[in-house]
Amino acid sequence: MKFVVTGGAGFIGSHIVEAIAGSHEVVVIDNFSSGKRENLRRFADSISGIQGSITDLPLLKDAFKGAEGIFHLGAIASVARSVDNPIATHETNLTGTLNVLLAARDCGVRTVVFSSSSAVYGDEPALPKREDLPSVPLSPYAVSKLAGEYYCKVFSELFGVRTVSLRYFNVFGPHQDPQSEYAAVIPKFITKLLNNQPPVIFGDGKQTRDFVYVKDVVQANLLAMQSSATGTFNIGSGKSIDLNSLARTVAEIMKVRISPIYEEPRSGDIRDSVSDITLAKKVLGYQACYSLEKGLAETIPWFRHQNLGIGSGELGDHQIST
């Protein structure tokens, strides 16, 4: 079968590509604004690449011809960046998602699996977060993901494109970029400690998050594509940890003793979050298989190798067509 992965050179997208490359025809669409060619280097010979944007509808229609399904991960995936530049986030995350759905409809694609976010819940106080709770988005990023879910629902009901929206909680693992100003907390913590620097916590560190390992997220995407289900599902670990405890856990695994420093809270950040994954278990057969510690045990060596300059070669430009 043919599958298209938008944002396929990015953190999560490249792991999905790795899982299906060789077994299926895989087309990656990425503009490389945040995705990296090196993420695709090991299996570049078994995929096709298109350097382009999901804001380009004719490009999508051409790429989607003959596809069985679309894993739609192309996005500006940052709350902080969306606060700084709401228009760019809207154009990529919402107009881009509408383009993906239009192209899927017009090309007869059976299924679109949409990467959404737990950010849609905002500071709704009920815990754990269930899919039937009110959505109270606190950032343009969260608004774009919630609106994308509604577009998916409408395209399922009006046009017969089966859509599944997966609300990721805090995903971590190899291929995350620690250098970005908007990098996620775990790669930032690891990189700081590798360089004998204190990790930075915004706020008091008592805010809680549900960290889910990237291989569990890949599993959820594959299950969603294989199923006959439609709708929205939480994808997390079902467990939470506060950031102070996270910093201690990372430091203990890395066998270093460096205490974090604290800065002012960031606008748009939520206070507490943990997933209820009951619905994903029941309908998709999803099960989080990686504990935080097990995921970190696979993640930290990858960042250590990157820090030493190991395995960071570029994928040749000749392997990405325009």
Please give the full DSSP string across 164-180, using - where no structure is assigned. EEEEE-EEE-TT--SSS
| Number of neighbouring beta carbons within 10 Å of residue 244 | 16
Residues 6+ apart with CB under 8 A from 203: 243, 262, 264, 265, 266, 269
141 annotated active-site: yes
CB 165 within 8 A of CB 226: no
Rounded distance between C-alpha atoms, residue 252 and residue 171, angstroms? 20
Marked catalytic residue, from 121, 141, 151, 286: 141
Find where tokens 């997208």 sit.
13
Crossing angle of the two packed helices 140-159 and 96-107, in degrees rounded to 10: 20
- 192 φ, ψ to 5°? -60, -45
**SS3 of residue 208 by DSSP:** strand
So which residues are the catalytic ones? 141
